[in-house]
Structure 1
Amino acid sequence: MKTKKFLVITIVLLVATVVSLAIYFNSGSTSAKVSDSSLFSEYISAYTSGMISKKSSISVKLTESTASQIKKDGIDLNALFDFSPSISGKAVWVDDQTIEFKPDEDLKSATHYIIDFKLGKLLQVGDEYKTFTFDFFTIKQNFDVSVDETRTINKSTYGLQKTSGTIILADYEPIENVQKIVKAFKDDKQVNVKITAAGENKYSFEIDSITRTNSASTLKIKWDGSPIDVENTGEISVQIPPLDQFIYMSYKIYDFPEQSVQLQFSDPIEGNQLLNGLITISNEEDLRFIIDDNLIKIYPSKQLKGEYNLTISEGIQNTKGTKITESQSFTIVFEDLKPQVRLVGKGVILPHSQDGLVLPFEAVNLKAVDVRVIKIYENNITQFLQINKLEGNSELRRVGKIVYQGTVQLDQTPNTNLSKWNRFTLDLNKLMLAEPGAIYRVSIGFRKQHSVYPCSDEDSNENASASSQQNEKGIESSFEYFDDQTEYSYWNYYEDGYYENYWENRNNPCKKSYYNTQKSVSQNIIASDIGVIAKKGNDGSLTVFVANILTAKPMNNVEVEIYDYPQQVIAKGVTDGSGKVSFTKLDKPYVVIAKSGKQRGYLKLSDGTSLSLSAFEVSGSSVIDGLKGFIYGERGVWRPGDSLYLTFILEENGEPVPNNVPIVFEFKNPDNQLIKRIVQKKNASGFYQYNIKTDENTVTGNYTANVIVGAATFDKKIKIETIKPNRLKIKFDFGLKKLVKNQDISGDMEVKWLHGAIAKNLKTSVELTMSPITTKFDRYQDFVFDDPTKKYSPSLEIVYEGTLDDNGKTKVKAKIDAGEMASGFLKATFITKVFEKGGDFSIDQFTIPYYPYSSFIGLKLPKGDKTRGMLLTDTTHQIEMVIVDSDGKLISNSHQVEMFFYKIEWKWWWDQSE
Structure 2
Amino acid sequence: MYRVLVLLLLLACAGPKGNSPELESRIYAHTNGLIPRDAEIQISFRDNIEISPSDLADGSGLIRFTPALKGRTSLRNSRTLVFTPDELLPTDQEYRCRVNMGKVFKDLKGDTRYGFRLKVQPFQMELSTLSLSPSPGGNSQLQRLSGELSFPDKADQDWPAHMLRLVFNGRPVTLKGQLSSNARTYAFWADSLERGEEDRVIELRWSAREAGSSEQGTRSLTLPGTGVFRCLQLTERSSAPQQFVLEFSDPLDPDQELTGLVRLEPAVALDLKREGNRVVLVPRTRMSGRVQVSVAGELRSTHGTSLGEAWAGQLDLPEAEPGLRFVGQGTILPSGDSLLLPIESRNLRGLVVSAIRVPQDNLPQFLQVNQLDGQSELYRVGRRVWWQEFALPAPGERRQEWTRHVLDLAPLARRFPRGLYHLEAFFLPGHSLYSCAGMIPEPVLPGPLAHGENDQDYRAFLDARRNAAVQQGWSHSDDPCADDFFWSWWDDEPTRVTGRNVLVSNLGLLASSQEDGSLLVGVSDLQTGRPVPDARVELWSKDLLRLASASLDAQGFARLANPDAGLPTSWRDASPLLVAVRGDDRIFMKLDAASRLSLSGFDTDGVGAEHGLKAWITGERGVWRPGDSLFVSCMVQDPQHTLPAGHPLELELRTPLGTRYLSSRQNMAASGLNVFRLATAPDAPTGHWEAVLKLGGREFRQLLRIESVRPNRLAVDLELEGPLLAGRKLTGNLDVHWLHGAPAAGL
Pairwise TM-score range, normalised by the shorter structure: 0.5 to 0.7
Deviations 1:302-326 (A, max 9, x none): 4433223322234556678876554
| 1:555 paired residue among 531, 536, 540 | 531
**What pairs up with 1:745-894 in 2 under 5 angstroms?**
none
Are residues 74 and 454 of structure 1, via their aligned partners in 2, closer, same or farther at CA, if it must alter by over 3 Å? Answer: closer
- 1:333 corresponding residue in structure 2: 316
Q: Which amino acid aligns with 2:590?
A: K
Are residues 565 and 232 of structure 1, via their aligned partners in 2, closer, same or farther at CA, if it must alter by over 3 Å? Answer: same
* Secondary structure class of the residue paired with 2:61: helix
Deviations 1:403-430 (A, max 9, x none): 11221122x4474754554333332334
* Secondary structure class of the residue paired with 1:64: coil
* Secondary structure class of the residue paired with 1:540: coil
1-structure distance, mates of 2:457, 2:350: 14
**What pairs up with 1:224-623 in 2 under 5 angstroms?**
224-238=207-221, 247-253=230-236, 257-266=240-249, 275-316=258-299, 324-351=307-334, 355-364=338-347, 366-410=348-392, 412-413=393-394, 415=396, 418=399, 420-430=401-411, 433=414, 437-456=418-437, 475-476=458-459, 495=466, 501-516=472-487, 517-528=494-505, 530-536=507-513, 539-546=516-523, 553=529, 555-557=531-533, 559-573=536-550, 581-586=558-563, 587-589=570-572, 590-595=576-581, 599-613=585-599, 618=604
Q: Which amino acid aligns with 1:428?
A: L
**What pairs up with 1:11-90 in 2 under 5 angstroms?**
33=16, 35=18, 40-64=23-47, 67=49, 78-90=60-72
- The Cα shift of 1:33 comes to 3.3
1:113 aligns with 2:92: no
Are residues 685 and 89 of structure 1, via their aligned partners in 2, closer, same or farther at CA, if it must alter by over 3 Å? Answer: closer
* Secondary structure class of the residue paired with 2:414: coil
- The Cα shift of 1:388 comes to 1.2
1-structure distance, mates of 2:637, 2:176: 59
Are residues 386 and 317 of structure 1, via their aligned partners in 2, closer, same or farther at CA, if it must alter by over 3 Å? Answer: farther
1-structure distance, mates of 2:539, 2:134: 55
Are residues 197 and 624 of structure 1, via their aligned partners in 2, closer, same or farther at CA, if it must alter by over 3 Å? Answer: farther
2-structure distance, mates of 1:606, 1:98: 27
1-structure distance, mates of 2:143, 2:518: 54
Q: Which amino acid aligns with 1:505?
A: H
Are residues 93 and 602 of structure 1, via their aligned partners in 2, closer, same or farther at CA, if it must alter by over 3 Å? Answer: closer
Does structure 1 retain, via aligned residues, the 8 Å contact 2:143–2:195?
A: no
Does structure 1 retain, via aligned residues, the 8 Å contact 2:424–2:497?
A: yes
Q: Which amino acid aligns with 1:525?
A: V
* Secondary structure class of the residue paired with 1:685: strand
Does structure 1 retain, via aligned residues, the 8 Å contact 2:248–2:278?
A: yes
* Secondary structure class of the residue paired with 1:145: strand
Does structure 1 retain, via aligned residues, the 8 Å contact 2:66–2:95?
A: yes
2-structure distance, mates of 1:546, 1:165: 55
2-structure distance, mates of 1:36, 1:355: 47
Are residues 157 and 474 of structure 1, via their aligned partners in 2, closer, same or farther at CA, if it must alter by over 3 Å? Answer: farther
Are residues 212 and 294 of structure 1, via their aligned partners in 2, closer, same or farther at CA, if it must alter by over 3 Å? Answer: same
2-structure distance, mates of 1:377, 1:186: 65
TM-score, L = length of structure 1: 0.55
Deviations 1:223-279 (A, max 9, x none): 332332222333444555567555433222357644443333445567787644333
Q: Which amino acid aligns with 1:171?
A: D
1-structure distance, mates of 2:179, 2:370: 29
Does structure 1 retain, via aligned residues, the 8 Å contact 2:269–2:285?
A: no
- The Cα shift of 1:524 comes to 1.4
* Secondary structure class of the residue paired with 2:180: strand
Q: Which amino acid aligns with 1:540?
A: G
TM-score, L = length of structure 2: 0.66
2-structure distance, mates of 1:509, 1:655: 69
- The Cα shift of 1:396 comes to 0.7
Are residues 82 and 565 of structure 1, via their aligned partners in 2, closer, same or farther at CA, if it must alter by over 3 Å? Answer: closer
2-structure distance, mates of 1:527, 1:320: 64
1-structure distance, mates of 2:221, 2:610: 62
* Secondary structure class of the residue paired with 1:369: strand
1-structure distance, mates of 2:468, 2:501: 29
2-structure distance, mates of 1:84, 1:547: 60
Does structure 2 retain, via aligned residues, the 8 Å contact 1:59–1:101?
A: yes
Structure of greater Rg: 2
- The Cα shift of 1:395 comes to 0.7
- The Cα shift of 1:190 comes to 3.1
Which consecutive unaligned segments of at least 5 residues does structure 2 have?
1-11, 442-451, 488-493, 564-569, 616-635, 648-693, 704-747
Percent identity of paired positions between Structure 1 and Structure 2:
21
Are residues 610 and 206 of structure 1, via their aligned partners in 2, closer, same or farther at CA, if it must alter by over 3 Å? Answer: farther
* Secondary structure class of the residue paired with 1:686: strand
* Secondary structure class of the residue paired with 1:425: strand
Are residues 359 and 275 of structure 1, via their aligned partners in 2, closer, same or farther at CA, if it must alter by over 3 Å? Answer: same
- 1:686 corresponding residue in structure 2: 700
- The Cα shift of 1:150 comes to 5.2
2-structure distance, mates of 1:577, 1:161: 73
Q: Which amino acid aligns with 2:121?
A: I
Deviations 1:701-754 (A, max 9, x none): xxxxxxxxxxxxxxxxxxxxxxxxxxxxxxxxxxxxxxxxxxxxxxxxxxxxxx
2-structure distance, mates of 1:434, 1:688: 61
* Secondary structure class of the residue paired with 1:392: coil
- The Cα shift of 1:400 comes to 0.9
2-structure distance, mates of 1:618, 1:163: 50
Does structure 2 retain, via aligned residues, the 8 Å contact 1:289–1:297?
A: yes
Which consecutive unaligned segments of at least 5 residues does structure 1 have?
1-24, 461-470, 482-492, 630-649, 660-679, 690-914
Does structure 1 retain, via aligned residues, the 8 Å contact 2:346–2:400?
A: no
The total of aligned residue pairs comes to 590
Does structure 2 retain, via aligned residues, the 8 Å contact 1:437–1:527?
A: yes
Are residues 521 and 294 of structure 1, via their aligned partners in 2, closer, same or farther at CA, if it must alter by over 3 Å? Answer: farther
- The Cα shift of 1:332 comes to 2.2
1:170 aligns with 2:152: yes
2-structure distance, mates of 1:72, 1:229: 38
* Secondary structure class of the residue paired with 2:478: coil
